[in-house]
A and B are shown apart, each in its own frame.
Chain A
């Protein structure tokens, strides 16, 4: 990462520099990759972030805890619930209050539904990166069903702000349990269709196997978490390591693979959708009765610093709050999974073709606004 745009030293005659992004169909957002190519081969690449820098962390210092919560949705907008949960848990830990079991159950169900929705969109976009446009519509068709469930209970589809410090914004919709059960049944039938369309395809396997291999040591040293890290055999599932909310009461498997190539990163997410469905199924029928919001006088974290991490659809999200005892955090810092995941892209794609670079960056499942907080 020592090179910058001004001091290239193109060593060989066939090398040239090409800009991929900030508007490119497969950078999944406003990311600019500066590629040094030799023919079609990637020599190295430099990711340039900051095109949508929004200063969320700085803005949060001027806002109270319930207010800053609404900014967290906008970071990793495909894991909005989970981002909310991270801040809420951190604030609750700081205030030393514990929410009711009902809230924990609902939070977990929402988070897992969010994970399913995120993986559906990832699957769609990944297929599109590889040139199979049909996957995009199949994935979105099923994602709509999850978003409809969200809309009914939370009132919004993408950025929910449903999970708040002290509980939930409001109770679940009366139809919620029925619709979620229906969705699980429906999506279990659709997942084999996904496999048929992409996983079993010869071209797809040729395109992904052995491409962009991330070793376990590199995954750990770069801090690649989430499905991308687990594909390399790195056991990094926060839901297992530090169970929060209702995860300690459910049985589920941490999906890990060993190769760390694009194909295994793909498989981890495909299997995780099955696991998420099973987690939701274990919880949905036994949501206990209880209050959905704690009676809190004021949401203020006592003086001190607090850290809470959760597992988003893309990996470990850490929230670090330094509080001076006021209603606003003195300093807030997010450790986002996408930032660490992006910076292995250079290492993974060296020596591969441009087409592979697209496949690798797709398999890392990057959300650029989460990088440029």
Chain B
């Protein structure tokens, strides 16, 4: 198995040797921050490109194909355009809150990325309450959305923001409970340990039907939490024109846009880590040769492959389903998903107690 632990240790050893104790910490933090920011920017650009290509495929279109080979540089060109655009200031808007909102949304998703295990040893911080941390941080983005909607001094934005508040807070419950189900299986909240517990099989296979139910609930609630279609009521371009970011222009709008894609990636990454075995390769029981071949694929490819699959699923939802209405959205959560989730949790607790899972 490919292991990043020695690589990471070598870097930190070098830093320890060159700088004194305190400065070594500072430099490593700066390095880490830069790497995460670069990764964030690159991934954001790539996801936008991927979405445009995938939705073009589903809609009988070609998608970006002008800038660079296969339009690969289209998002970079778009980014440059967005950077050059005028930032519009709204009269009578609360300019401090208006300006700070995109950053809150961005910061929330950047902080979540720090604790995602991309491969063995390739994790910025391995908290012992990793799942809880990600849940807490990823739901901070809604504060940014609420502030953006409120500070815009536009009624459409306020409606969007209020919808977002209702929506994200409701669906946070389902996301949390679905993850709790898997924590019961894994017996740990530490992301690296959850992955290790899946070495003999991913939880989605080991946990029988309850795990599958939890996965579906997580996917639905996760899609809703990131405000993506068919739950994109916060933007709802045909009803609220653009919802909470109606009044934003240029790079500030791009920040919201980027954060939405990154949140999608984070949701997919957590699904990968908890349900699909993280960076672990796909193994079949009693097939040594097959397993050996699978082991040759580096874990980082496994991680990104699985994440890409979940991201693709979420994009598929968006481009096929019509949008729900706000009351239907809340009905779905409070009347169906939540009771189902609670029952599922009970079943899983029973299964774990009786040691009936593999």
- B322 near A207 with CB under 8 A, answer yes
Any A CB within 8 A of the CB of B58 = yes
Q: How far, in whole Å, are A136 and B163 apart by their CA atoms in the complex?
A: 26
Size of interface on A: residues with Cβ below 8 Å to B: 30
- B159 near A40 with CB under 8 A, answer yes
A354 CB contacts on chain B under 8 angstroms:
159, 239-240
Tell me the chain B residues, 238-261 only, with Cβ under 8 Å from chain A.
Answer: 238-241
A211 to chain B, nearest CB (A): 9
- A130 near B238 with CB under 8 A, answer yes
Any A CB within 8 A of the CB of B202 = no
Cβ-defined partner of A133 (8 Å) among B59, B159, B163, B325: B59
9-residue interface stretch from B6-14, B30-38, B72-80, B229-237: B229-237
| A353-B327, A356-B325 given; A134·B320 CB < 8 A | yes
Tell me the chain B residues, 128-177 only, with Cβ under 8 Å from chain A.
Answer: 155-156, 159, 163
- B320 near A197 with CB under 8 A, answer yes
Residue-wise, chain B 322-358 has the 8 Å CB interface mask toward A (1 for contact) of 1111111000000000000000000000000000000
Tell me the chain B residues, 34-72 only, with Cβ under 8 Å from chain A.
Answer: 55, 58-61
Any B CB within 8 A of the CB of A283 = no
Cβ-defined partner of B239 (8 Å) among A26, A127, A133, A198: A26
Q: How far, in whole Å, are A358 and B323 apart by their CA atoms in the complex?
A: 12
Any A CB within 8 A of the CB of B319 = yes
B22 CB contacts on chain A under 8 angstroms:
none
- B156 near A134 with CB under 8 A, answer no
Can you identify 23 A-B contacts, CB atoms within 8 angstroms?
A18-B155, A25-B241, A26-B238, A26-B239, A40-B163, A127-B322, A128-B238, A132-B323, A134-B55, A198-B322, A201-B322, A203-B324, A203-B328, A206-B324, A206-B328, A207-B325, A353-B327, A354-B240, A355-B239, A355-B323, A355-B325, A355-B326, A356-B325
Any A CB within 8 A of the CB of B321 = yes
Closest to A196 in B: B320
Any B CB within 8 A of the CB of A138 = yes
- B319 near A131 with CB under 8 A, answer no
Any B CB within 8 A of the CB of A247 = no
Any B CB within 8 A of the CB of A370 = no
- A25 near B322 with CB under 8 A, answer no
Closest to A127 in B: B322
B60 CB contacts on chain A under 8 angstroms:
137-138, 141
Q: How far, in whole Å, are A138 and B159 apart by their CA atoms in the complex?
A: 31
Closest to A140 in B: B60
Q: How far, in whole Å, are A206 and B324 apart by their CA atoms in the complex?
A: 8
B72 to chain A, nearest CB (A): 23
Q: How far, in whole Å, are A18 and B61 apart by their CA atoms in the complex?
A: 36
Residue-wise, chain A 109-135 has the 8 Å CB interface mask toward B (1 for contact) of 000000000000000000111111110
- A131 near B326 with CB under 8 A, answer no
B138 to chain A, nearest CB (A): 24
Cβ-defined partner of A18 (8 Å) among B55, B156, B236: B156
- B324 near A207 with CB under 8 A, answer yes
B237 CB contacts on chain A under 8 angstroms:
25
A132 to chain B, nearest CB (A): 4
Any B CB within 8 A of the CB of A62 = no
- B325 near A353 with CB under 8 A, answer yes
B159 CB contacts on chain A under 8 angstroms:
40, 354
Cβ-defined partner of A137 (8 Å) among B59, B236, B324: B59
Closest to B230 in A: A203
A198 CB contacts on chain B under 8 angstroms:
322
- B229 near A131 with CB under 8 A, answer yes
- A131 near B58 with CB under 8 A, answer no
Any B CB within 8 A of the CB of A252 = no
B51 to chain A, nearest CB (A): 12
| A18-B156, A206-B328 given; A132·B321 CB < 8 A | yes
Residues of B within 8 A of A (CB): 55, 58-61, 155-156, 159, 163, 229-230, 232-233, 236-241, 319-328
B240 CB contacts on chain A under 8 angstroms:
354
Closest to A23 in B: B241
Closest to B331 in A: A206
Any B CB within 8 A of the CB of A173 = no
Any B CB within 8 A of the CB of A24 = yes
A232 to chain B, nearest CB (A): 23
Closest to A35 in B: B155
Cβ-defined partner of B322 (8 Å) among A18, A24, A131, A353: A131
Q: How far, in whole Å, are A133 and B55 apart by their CA atoms in the complex?
A: 10
| A137-B60, A138-B59, A138-B60 given; A131·B328 CB < 8 A | no
Q: How far, in whole Å, are A130 and B324 apart by their CA atoms in the complex?
A: 8
B238 CB contacts on chain A under 8 angstroms:
25-26, 128-131, 358
B55 CB contacts on chain A under 8 angstroms:
133-134
Any B CB within 8 A of the CB of A16 = yes
Of A129, A134, A197, most B-chain CB atoms within 10 Å: A134
Any B CB within 8 A of the CB of A204 = yes
A128 CB contacts on chain B under 8 angstroms:
238
Q: How far, in whole Å, are A18 and B155 apart by their CA atoms in the complex?
A: 7
- A203 near B321 with CB under 8 A, answer yes
A16 CB contacts on chain B under 8 angstroms:
155
Residue-wise, chain A 7-20 has the 8 Å CB interface mask toward B (1 for contact) of 00000000010100
Q: How far, in whole Å, are A16 and B156 apart by their CA atoms in the complex?
A: 12
Q: How far, in whole Å, are A201 and B239 apart by their CA atoms in the complex?
A: 20
A136 CB contacts on chain B under 8 angstroms:
59
Closest to A17 in B: B155
Q: How far, in whole Å, are A136 and B55 apart by their CA atoms in the complex?
A: 12
Q: How far, in whole Å, are A132 and B320 apart by their CA atoms in the complex?
A: 6
A22 to chain B, nearest CB (A): 12
B239 CB contacts on chain A under 8 angstroms:
26, 354-355, 358
B321 CB contacts on chain A under 8 angstroms:
131-132, 201, 203
Closest to A204 in B: B322
Closest to A198 in B: B322
Given contacts A353-B327, A354-B159, 11 further A-B pairs with CB under 8 A are A18-B156, A131-B232, A131-B322, A131-B323, A132-B322, A133-B55, A137-B60, A197-B320, A207-B322, A207-B324, A355-B323
Q: How far, in whole Å, are A139 and B265 apart by their CA atoms in the complex?
A: 31
Closest to B154 in A: A18
Tell me the chain A residues, 23-81 only, with Cβ under 8 Å from chain B.
Answer: 24-26, 40
